[in-house]
Amino acid sequence: MWDWIVPFLVVLTVLVFVHELGHYLIARRVGVRVEVFSIGFGPELFGWTDGHGTRWKVSAIPLGGYVKMLGEHEHDEAEEGEKPQPLTPEEEAESFQRKSVGQRSAVVAAGPAANFLFAIVALAILFAAVGVPTPKAGIGSVQEGSAAAQSGLQQGDLIVAIEDRPVQWFEEVRQIVRDNPGQPLRLDVLRQDETLAITATPLPRAAGPEDGGRSEVGLLGITPDPQQVGYERINPLKAVGVAAQRTYELTAQILSALGQIITGSRTADELGGPIRIAQLSGQMADDGIINFVLFMAALSINLGLINLLPIPMLDGGHLAFYAVEAMRGRPLNKTIQEYGFRIGLAFVLFLMIFATWNDLTNLRVFEFLRDLIS
């Protein structure tokens, strides 16, 4: 159990800190007084107050965090039935609600933005220091009737050279094959502990627009082996670009999967909750620091996207209210906002319960309990 809990708390603490730090930094930038920066909820375990009056603390329930800004929820400042105390001129200048719509939107959007930025920075450091996870020149599958099948190539083979030119990555093999349609190629292949010389002739295929004006390209009919992956180091500047591209691609994949779940073309059983995240945290930690960092980056992107959903209670819900305020020239009625937040809270709680149910079902907890009492 502790193999799950400790990595999960590390991941959650880091990602929550990054998210709330985004809110904090932009709030300070636009002149909002931040009263509390908390990691966790509930009673304070320990903390300190900085020179700006912000109470930094770690609380007892380590399942999230928050930043409390002056005037952020004015209707909560007074007891029920009492009028809120008027702010002093100094407090007015530092109140969140007295800032412009654009400034408030920037503060709210900064949390998810920080999660995306964290993913880019973490991946860039990993790619520069260790390398980009890249498929080696191993064969994952061979298409029936393809040039590879005719030549005798098999799943699990590792191509180490083509025409006496050493190759390491699958993309190198792909490029050489594409450049030699219909030309016999001598492949040096490592199969188990034996090196074989195999001749394969890439089948010509009509080139598409992405092939730079070629009339045809070569096709061997193999796919990379997901079990044979190496790390290709790149310079720091390129690492930032690749990290940003990978972050964009993963974001697109998550949005696509979410759209498929909404339209019903993909089952909602794939949604995971805190138990599933804890399980994966433990597994990734066991797999080493590289997979752990990759997992944290992916989870940070998920956290950023979830918070941008236009659901009241989430950052995206606040941004939606601010967009309406910008168009109307005045905020929505407080009653409407309050009901919106209640509906949003109910929806978020429902999602948490549903995801947790999926976690328990996938772990066969209910089957275990049934067996105990049967």
Listed residues 182, 197, 231: the one ending a domain: 231
Q: Which amino acid is at 165?
A: R
Same domain, 106 and 245: yes
What is the band of 331 on the pLDDT scale with cuts at 50, 70, 90? confident
pTM above 0.85, yes or no: no
How many residues in the chain?
Answer: 374
Q: Which two tokens stand for residue 266?
A: 């993909």
- Look at 46-60, 61-75, 214-228 and tell me which has the smallest mean pLDDT: 61-75
For residue 79, the model assigns a pLDDT of 44
Of the residues 20, 232, 325, 338, only one is catalytic, namely 20
Q: What is the mean predicted confidence (pLDDT) over 198-209?
A: 84
Helix, strand, coil content of the chain in percent (nearest 5): 55, 20, 25
Q: Are 151 and 215 within one domain?
A: yes
pLDDT tens, 102-115? 999 999 999 999 99
Q: What percent of the chain has pLDDT over 70?
A: 88
Residues 248 and 301 in one domain: yes
**Residue that finishes a domain, picked among 231, 258, 291:** 231
| Structure confidence at residue 83 as a pLDDT band (50, 70, 90) | low
The predicted-structure confidence for 228-263, as pLDDT tens digits, reads as follows 888 888 899 999 999 999 999 999 988 888 888 777
369 has a pLDDT exceeding 50: no
Of the ranges 87-101, 136-150, 292-306, which one carries the lowest mean pLDDT score?
87-101
Q: Which two tokens stand for residue 132?
A: 């980009």
Look at residue 79 and tell me if it is in a domain: no
Within-domain flag for 86: no
State which of 186, 215, 231 marks the end of a domain.
231
37 in a domain, yes or no? no
- What is the Cα–Cα distance from 20 to 109, expressed in whole angstroms? 11
In a domain, 94, yes or no: no
Could you list the residue range(s) of the whole structural domain that residue 331 is in? 2-30+99-131+235-373
d(CA 200, CA 192): 20
Residue 81: inside a domain: no
Whether 222 and 341 map to the same domain: the answer is no
Q: In this structure, are 293 and 174 located in the same domain? A: no
Tokens of residue 240, six digits = 């930032």
Count of Cβ atoms closer than 10 Å to residue 367 Cβ: 10
Task: Indicate which CATH number applies to the domain containing 151.
Answer: 2.30.42.10
Same domain, 141 and 194: yes
Catalytic, 82? Answer no
Q: Could you tell me if 357 and 244 lie in one domain?
A: yes
Residue 273 counted as domain residue: yes
If one compares 10 and 367, the residue with the highest pLDDT of the two is 10
- What sections of 130-213 are H helices per DSSP? 147-151, 170-178
Shared domain for 20 and 6, answered yes or no, is yes
Query: Do 223 and 337 fall into the same domain?
Result: no
Please report whether residue 117 resides in a domain. yes
> Contact at 8 Å (CB) between 70 and 35?
yes
Q: What angle do CA 18, 342, 110 make, to 5 degrees?
A: 20
User: Residue 329 pLDDT more than 80?
Assistant: yes
Instruction: Assess whether 278 and 239 both reside in one domain.
Output: yes
Co-location of 207 and 170 in the same domain: yes
247 and 347 assigned to the same domain: yes
